[in-house]
Chain A
Amino acid sequence: MSTDLRDLYQEIILEHSRKPKNAGVLEDPTAEAQGNNPLCGDRITVYVKLDGDRIEDARFDARGCAISVASASMMTESLKGKTLDEAEEAFGRFNTQMTGKEAPELAEDDELSALMGVRDFPTRIKCATLPWHTLRAALKGAGDTQITTE
């Protein structure tokens, strides 16, 4: 197991955290949810706009670390155009990869795989999964849902 810092802070992660995609408030969202990490006080709001059961747009507004911002940025990028079922499946896959006991099998072209370095930093896994849990709460609750990682 390598716990090299460069595996955690890969260039692509730093890039997403410096210039996050889909950052900011989404006007007239179909659903939104707020996520909190009480451990560090980080907060994120995820907004989605649905067209039927398809995610037309997804944005987020976060006060968080490089890992959580990069995760939110990649997540919203990857989900646009997906159906709700596909989003749920993506959540399940990401969550298992992140928290599962076995090292995940990854598709080479999957940008999200850059986040797998986080697995070696147990205290930081919640940073990567918070945006996903928040998205899921938004899709499930469609309203003023609040979730926390604790």
Chain B
Amino acid sequence: MSTNGAYPIDRIRADFPILSEQVRGKPLVYLDNGASAQKPSAVIEQISRTYETEYANVHRGVHYMSQMATDAMEAARVKAQEFLNAADEKEVIFVRGATEGINLVASSWGRANLKPGDEIILSVLEHHSNIVPWQMIAEQTGAIIKVVPIDDAGEFLVDEYEKLLSPRTKMVAVTHVSNALGTVVPVKEVIRLAKAQGSAVLLDGCQAVPHIPVDVQALDVDFYVFSGHKLYGPSGIGVLYGKQALLEAMPPYQGGGEMIDRVTFEKTTYAELPFKFEAGTPHIAGIIALGTAIDYLNGIGFDAIAAHEHDLLTYATDQLSAMNTIDIVGTAADKAAILSFNIKDVHPHDVGTILDHDGIAVRTGHHCAQPVMDRFDVAATVRASFGLYNTRDEVDVLVSGIKRVQEMFA
């Protein structure tokens, strides 16, 4: 099954219990990693281990178990810090996921910094969760949203972006990798140009972190968000990275326990970072297991993962391009392992149902990125998104599935 001599694909697949499940009597072929990735045993077992051996509420009790849980959670924060190469662990805020991270920044940073006529730049590639929070804050503050277009290949148009930038630009919020098309956005350039105009930058790293090593200091990005569940970790947990000076100047997002220094009815003072932004009891077991997922990925190594996934993407793209009734949507030069396509005259939903019959899980629909669909004038696409455990054999199963669809609708 190996696609690359050195890559330990058999061992990796054995790490993911769900991959040996059958779907409708067929082996599961899981190609919906862009929506959510499956979990290795290490992560699954860590969740039980937390509840079995080191669980209590965090940052509260003086008792042994509370201290154990707090230490484990804070150790995970350091893992996330190292994962993003953040300067300080205080800059790592645990949130429910990317959606909550973006809402936090839009709301807290936005309320403090946006005035009528200020501009926020997004791109056509954005997931709805990097559009709607900005529309909400723009409505409240009188700020204006500008949108960077893409070309027919799905490439982010840097020239057009440059034209939109001005001293009025206060925030540039774009995705690092497009979830609908796989396009890798030239974020280094995006950030450099934004900084030249004095704008802050938020990157949505949901689809980037499973495939690309990220260094927030080298990027000089102000805010970076990702969700744990796409990174082979639990759902319900994610990370917001923010530069310390910016986070310190921002008002809290939610009020409650954990985020306070001292509360009286006259005045409340807030806790230091990161706790100022972590009101309430967090997803303790989830945070600890996210740390385990990061360890797991580091154990394989991003170079190996990237090479493996690139091989799968190239192999799948070649196979599908050779079928003349297939339209690949998104053909950027630099792509993560995401392949969106349509079969001529067959609606993606019908494709999805038929592939599901062969045990193949793909996403069909607009991928929460309707502006991308509108750009290509399609209602939806079929999206195969590859993960570190997929194989060329699975691509072959996908190709036979597509042939079955074509026969059925011929």
- In angstroms, Cα B347 to Cα A39, docked, is 14
A14 at the interface (CB under 8 A from B): yes
B157 at the interface (CB under 8 A from A): no
- Pick the contact of A124 from B353, B379, B408 — CB < 8 Å? B353
Report yes or no: B408 in contact with A64, Cβ–Cβ below 8 A: no
| Contact residues, B117-175 vs A (CB, 8 A) | none
B348 at the interface (CB under 8 A from A): yes
**Which chain B positions have C-beta within 8 A of A14?**
408-409
Number of interface residues of B (CB under 8 A): 18
Report yes or no: B365 in contact with A40, Cβ–Cβ below 8 A: yes
CB distance from B229 to the nearest CB of A (A): 20
Contact (A8, B353) CB under 8 Å given A3-B24, A41-B370, A41-B373 = yes
Report yes or no: B349 in contact with A124, Cβ–Cβ below 8 A: yes
| Contact residues, A29-62 vs B (CB, 8 A) | 39-43
- In angstroms, Cα B387 to Cα A32, docked, is 45
- Pick the contact of A64 from B24, B353, B379 — CB < 8 Å? B379
Report yes or no: B379 in contact with A67, Cβ–Cβ below 8 A: no
A65 at the interface (CB under 8 A from B): yes
| Contact residues, A43-101 vs B (CB, 8 A) | 43, 63-67
Report yes or no: B379 in contact with A127, Cβ–Cβ below 8 A: no
**Which chain B positions have C-beta within 8 A of A5?**
353-354, 357, 408
B227 at the interface (CB under 8 A from A): no
Report the nearest A residue to B349, measured CB to CB.
Answer: A65
B70 at the interface (CB under 8 A from A): no
CB distance from B236 to the nearest CB of A (A): 22
Report the nearest B residue to A4, measured CB to CB.
Answer: B357
B366 at the interface (CB under 8 A from A): yes
**Which chain A positions have C-beta within 8 A of B348?**
40, 65
B364 at the interface (CB under 8 A from A): yes
Report the nearest A residue to B373, measured CB to CB.
Answer: A41
Residues on B close to A: CB < 8 A?
24, 346-350, 353-354, 357, 364-366, 370, 373, 379-380, 408-409
* Extra 6 A-B pairs, beta carbons < 8 Å, given A40-B349, A66-B346: A8-B353, A41-B380, A42-B349, A63-B379, A66-B350, A124-B349
List 7 A–B pairs whose Cβ atoms lie within 8 Å, in order of A's numbering: A9-B350, A14-B408, A40-B379, A66-B346, A66-B350, A123-B353, A124-B353
Q: Which 4 A-B pairs have the closest CB atoms?
A: A65-B347, A65-B349, A41-B366, A41-B379
